[in-house]
Structure 1
């Protein structure tokens, strides 16, 4: 370690500085190791000393008055100026510190991330193999050939993917989806990836570019200079199989899950600070449970807790909790963001073992990883996919013919009749009370109506005053007008009202002259403007650009006002388009196979808005015969019992093979799966034992 090792000296005005310096100087002289000045920084300002002591007490699990020497004796562990440090440290130590700083010239741009390469056959280039798989997908998706518009979209995407060098990324995601399908695991890509026709060809997404207006810049942009982000939903019950496939294929040294930094919110701050102040558990629980929303106005949030605000301990609790809110509390796993590399990840990022066996976690957040350009694949879980898969298996079981999602008839009028009546308990994305109240007003009659339905009941469109204009135009109460053909082309499918994020991006491009990358930056600013105030720079550019192109000031200002509304959570069309497919499939199952659908929902709990009792009540209303839990007939899961003489309640004149729904032991509160299986096993043994006599 010659010329690479120093002894760091911290002088913190604690009374023993001279003694410590002399001891370390002797140690350095003995081993020929130079000394350098280090700050021992814990905080940026001495006023944060109280916060430092707070997090120390929380970390050690001690009360404030028990900290002793663990508490900071002064505020010297802050970022001190060079001038102040020069008064404390000998010049030789300061010179060594400057020498170290001059040698620390590393920048993050020096890190070179490489995508996994083993998915490309030897005889192909990455682009050649991606094109080969895409062409296969074109033949599968459009047996009669893709129409020119779609073919042009695909060629545009392939060109941009090649230019940016993202072929390996698409191939990696395709491999995961291909594996899942080989194992009969339902999956579907969503999010911005649904804007990609190439993803549709590869089977990653199910959104046909011929059915929606795709905006590839929402997914990949040259100006953004960031890798694409593909989210893939897998069956909730079987996602772990896909995760373990990733580890088997790439090894834990090359694949890991991104981290998420969990920060203090009102309740967690109150609980942790209350403990270190020595408040009793009853008071802490009462204070924490009185908080019903997120925010930093603790006095207002605690107004219903009947506390004495003049109490010094309560004042201290509120003061320290305010300091702590927004501060990192602990590191957690991202819901499914995987990073996969060609070489060992430890050469690029810090990693650690996850609390769950067999998993590795990167200690950096999603944003940090994006800054490095690391490939991230979101391997997500969706409960409704589990329910749909279980429904398919149940239907195939009693109908004796295999049913797949692809075989479900599209655009069935009867399905939309049911949806328009708001008969949607248990249906994906449109089962909430807010959605139910909107369905009879919007009256979806086709797939794209469903896309709009899912997106319009969101805070963004509501705050941006987009809901009523759309409904009025849809019902003919308001005339649809467009200020130009370019705007008409962008908004015609939503009757002149910008409902989706992609439409705002397109409007900024066609009406204000934004580039694709600038439009994507606007999208990002929309979702963060309240937090970062990032929308104002775009106001002038947007309004000026529209005025220069002949648009009225009122139209430009109204559009910007609607953009502000998206800051309260606007929905991307690509997201809604993916969800609408699942909503339609679940609606079809509820209409034509209510018993299987209800059984699958019960066996996929917890999920959705409704408790099992409400799902069962709704199933009975649809003619399903529900049999109670029976010690002799029930198994752990809810199950179907076929009775050839069963008369369906809502069709009393028809004899049908429609099964009955038998409630399973899983619905018994407090009964474990192991306990239920023990009952079934004992029952089976009792039936097989020979009887005496």
Structure 2
């Protein structure tokens, strides 16, 4: 807490003393973006002891804890008065009657009861209802969609029409999808036809509101080829040489370009600028390059999403994203609704969907 407050107040207070030079504190280096210990902050702000003193006074009065920021998934309670679990059970048994018009087999009924009991214990019913409502909307508009992945292990997903594989008949294990021991958020991937997926995305925004829904991000990192090109450009290496160097290495390589490969291009392996390019490129590999949109992972919340994480407009019109990536979401146990796209869906016969 003290590090955060010092960082903010220190900049403000110092700007009052030294004017525009104080804004140099905003030009953070790549390796400087972390919360520092109080001793380090005092060293950095040794010219502004008043900022340290005032910060300590404010920090002593702060009672807020990050533990107070808790994630809550939308409850999915509608006007019928049913709880999320009650509605899921109602839809499940109705769907089972449609899937098995000749009568519900005993082993399927047993599996459905098992899954519903587990879903109730881990309180995931709202998540299943969200995915069900998205799929129902898509099909009401004639948009092809199909669930896949580990969700195919769920008999509940099957009778709801989210997936099309009977897990009981195939002998699939539900606990591979949802486990009470792991307590990992369920992950239902649904593919929508490429040309019309945006209709589904905008429906989610309209249904849950832009204060409670946003796409998550992915961190794009430098790989071998991109690192060589970027460093070579910065050091003034001719573009034809950086292009040739990039072609010598595999995109996912961790080794970079070897001396043997340099000799294949008849390059001077002792050239200082060339050696520096390859050395810096190797250091750059794996570091973040930019933040981009996840292919379709939605984060939904019961209350305002921007109270948990910054939300910003995406590069694509009428979309918004959070500043956390999908790995952050997994670590924080946030439930993510994957609205993905499948280019071949429009080429497939509608009957298989």
Structure-2-length-normalised TM-score:
0.85
- The answer on whether the counterparts of 2:224 and 2:250 sit within 8 Å (CA) in structure 1 is no
Match of 1:405 in 2: 352
| Cα distance in 1, alignment partners of residues 202 and 183 from structure 2 | 31
Say whether 1:82 aligns with 2:39: yes
How much does 1:26 deviate? 8.7
Match of 2:270 among 305, 310, 314: 310
| Cα distance in 2, alignment partners of residues 319 and 79 from structure 1 | 29
Name the CA shift for 1:39/1:279 in 2 (closer, same or farther; >3 Å): closer
How much does 1:8 deviate? 1.1
Say whether 1:243 aligns with 2:201: yes
| Cα distance in 2, alignment partners of residues 341 and 288 from structure 1 | 43
Alignment of 1:50-65 (within 5 A): none
Name the CA shift for 1:305/1:260 in 2 (closer, same or farther; >3 Å): farther
State the Cα deviation string for residues 650-684 of structure 1 (Å, max 9, x = none): xxxxxxxxxxxxxxxxxxxxxxxxxxxxxxxxxxx
Say whether 1:335 aligns with 2:322: no
How much does 1:255 deviate? 1.9
Name the CA shift for 1:104/1:313 in 2 (closer, same or farther; >3 Å): farther
- The answer on whether the counterparts of 1:86 and 1:94 sit within 8 Å (CA) in structure 2 is no
Match of 1:145 among 103, 121, 126: 103
Match of 2:327 in 1: 367
- The answer on whether the counterparts of 1:193 and 1:205 sit within 8 Å (CA) in structure 2 is yes
How much does 1:197 deviate? 0.9
- The answer on whether the counterparts of 1:226 and 1:371 sit within 8 Å (CA) in structure 2 is no
How much does 1:103 deviate? 5.8
Q: Find the structure with the greater CA-based Rg.
A: 1
| Cα distance in 1, alignment partners of residues 202 and 30 from structure 2 | 41
Match of 1:8 in 2: 10
Match of 2:339 in 1: 379
| Cα distance in 2, alignment partners of residues 192 and 174 from structure 1 | 16
Match of 1:351 among 308, 311, 315: 311
How much does 1:351 deviate? 1.1
SS in 2 for 1:298: coil
Match of 1:228 among 176, 180, 186: 186
- The answer on whether the counterparts of 2:155 and 2:168 sit within 8 Å (CA) in structure 1 is no
How much does 1:252 deviate? 2.4
- The answer on whether the counterparts of 1:229 and 1:377 sit within 8 Å (CA) in structure 2 is yes
Q: Pick the structure with more strand per residue.
A: 2
Name the CA shift for 1:270/1:207 in 2 (closer, same or farther; >3 Å): same
- The answer on whether the counterparts of 1:127 and 1:167 sit within 8 Å (CA) in structure 2 is yes
Name the CA shift for 1:9/1:130 in 2 (closer, same or farther; >3 Å): closer
Aligned length: 341
Task: Report the aligned-residue RMSD.
Answer: 3.3
- The answer on whether the counterparts of 1:117 and 1:342 sit within 8 Å (CA) in structure 2 is yes
State the Cα deviation string for residues 398-437 of structure 1 (Å, max 9, x = none): xxxxxx237xxxxxxxxxxxxxxxxxxxxxxxxxxxxxxx
| Cα distance in 1, alignment partners of residues 27 and 61 from structure 2 | 20
Q: Which runs of 5+ in 1 are unaligned?
A: 11-19, 28-37, 46-51, 53-76, 393-403, 407-693
- The answer on whether the counterparts of 2:149 and 2:189 sit within 8 Å (CA) in structure 1 is yes
| Cα distance in 1, alignment partners of residues 63 and 174 from structure 2 | 38
Alignment of 1:292-311 (within 5 A): 292-300=250-258, 302-303=261-262, 304-311=264-271
RCO (CA 8 Å, sep 6+): is it higher in 1 or 2? Answer: 2
| Cα distance in 2, alignment partners of residues 84 and 200 from structure 1 | 56
Structure-1-length-normalised TM-score:
0.45
How much does 1:295 deviate? 1.7
Match of 1:163 among 100, 121, 126: 121
